[in-house]
Chains A and B, each alone.
Chain A
Amino acid sequence: MAQLKDVLKKPSSFYDEFLRKPDNYQQDTHYCPGCGHGILHKLIAEAIEDFGIKDRTIMISPVGCSVFVYYYFDTGNFQVAHGRAPAVATGIKRTHPDAIVISYQGDGDLAAIGGNNILQAANRGENITVFFVNNAIYGMTGGQMAPTTLLGQKTMTSPYGRKATWEGYPMKVSELLSTLEAPAYVERIALTNGKNLMKARKAVRKAIQAQIDGKGFSLVETLSMCPSAWRMTPVDAKKWVEEAMMKTFPLGVYKDVLDEREVGSWHRALETVPIEKYHEILGLAHEGMEVEGDVESVPKIFRNPKVLIAGFGGQGILLLGQTLAETGMRHGWNSTWIPSYGPEMRGGTANCHVKISSDPIGSPVVSEPNILIAMNKPSLERFEKDLAPGGLLIYNTSMIDIKPTRTDIEILPLPATEMADEIGSLRVANMVIIGAVLEKTKILQKDVVLDSLNAVVKHKKFIPMNSDAINKGMEYARNYKG
């Protein structure tokens, strides 16, 4: 047990003034009189100060009354979506293994909407510390029933008292999590009398120390007073914790394997991968990557292709985009590809965005394409207006019985589906289109496209047919007289 200091005052891991608070009372918390949050905040702040970890601690604020944790702690702070604190904490800890990541969550946040998040993080044994504040109610929103509301407890949404046969039993988070293998330390504490406060102080420090030592997941469940939502005085609320809550939620250590674990055994050092390894890992490393494109011979508007490809799911829309993006990359440029998934995959309209550029690409989203490929009628109707003036529209006349209306763009009508059928498979219509794109824009080289196909096409036996389709598409575009 850590020694008490001679003078106990506001820990330095709190801000001097709570400047984020909107009013003039910037020395005080926003919590109601007698709220347990302030007590737990102080215990955590004291531990952070004593351990000298203020500069590497990151607090995660939840949704609930303690949403404003970041008003108070002079540490790194994130405020996250409801219940998602363990997921965000995981991301932060994995990328910053030396940070001390503390997730602070209430019962509505952790046990209801975030129930699976905490379960999975605990089961993965994330090397984080979770402070779970259980006050058996939704405090911030005015006192609705929580997963941890006691049997018989009257709340705004259980006005006759919680009944097991109607609302189920109070959720015992510490008991539940302690059945998992991975967690290192799980204890339930209360903020009531002197004995319990000192146990709480010890538990808070132990849980943070567990993380510092790299021993894995720790969680401290705190039975906390909510005098406002319980409609009690602070002193009565404290008594109610002892007389009612502790019967359902007994205090104690539910899991503690800290002594069995070696220091650093659950510390996950960040494995960095050298950039040249990316292509090898992704299975893309082979000759062809270093090809330089001859940009000078390419019409200016096509030098940084922004391609929108749209059609029915099943027309090879996504593969078409992937092939273009891969080809751009193999030319040595930057490229991005994002598909639009959704119900479109079941036969509606699918689309994907491709950008190829010699400059870094900020956003992969193509809002004003300079090349639009419309494989079906709804796509033409929907996207024609978005095409940049002077841009290229290629549309599949086999499937589209209307004509484009724009006059400020270059238009190539192409019976891609019928041509594909003649070549031997309706599925190569997308390759016919690629051929046309190659011929019209001149920016991508055919041999590089074929190289790319090797990487993106799963069934290699289709490669000759694809090659044939690309040739037919190029030929058609070359001979087309608008």
Chain B
Amino acid sequence: MARIEVHKDHCKGCGLCIDICPVNVIETSKEINNLGYHPAQYKGEGCTGCTLCFYTCPEPDAIVVYRKD
């Protein structure tokens, strides 16, 4: 099962991952993070491991994609 991990304190809440996700499994958190943004969060299931959120994310360490586990 593929999944993603969002490192919430490195996310600037730009929303590009949410926009690009073909299966809509990423959403905006209500929480405010260390940087002062509402970070993205994984809904918890449904990730296909397509990797697009990783490549569209401008921050080096905000999203990790596990394609096969």
Contact = CB atoms under 8 A, between A and B. Distances in A.
Interface of A: 4-11, 14, 25, 27-29, 31-39, 41-43, 45, 72, 191, 193-194, 197-198, 201, 227, 233-235, 238
A25 B19 contact: no
A201 B19 contact: no
Contacts of A235: 15-16, 19
B65 A8 contact: yes
B37 A33 contact: yes
B52 interface: yes
Mostly helix, strand, loop or mixed at chain B's interface? loop
Interface residues of B, number: 31
Contact of B15 (A9, A25, A34, A35): A34
B67 A8 contact: yes
Given A6-B66, A7-B67, A8-B67, A193 B12 contact: no
Contacts of B55: 39, 42-43, 197-198, 201
A31 B12 CA distance: 10
Interface string B36-68: 010000000000001110111111110011111
24 contacts: A4-B67, A7-B64, A8-B67, A9-B61, A10-B61, A25-B34, A25-B35, A27-B61, A28-B12, A33-B13, A34-B12, A34-B14, A34-B16, A38-B59, A39-B55, A39-B56, A39-B58, A41-B58, A42-B55, A43-B55, A72-B60, A193-B20, A197-B52, A197-B55
A42 B60 CA distance: 6
Contacts of A194: 20, 22, 50, 52
A234 B16 contact: yes
Which of B19, B20, B22 has the largest count of A CB atoms less than 10 A from its CB? B19
B60 A45 contact: yes
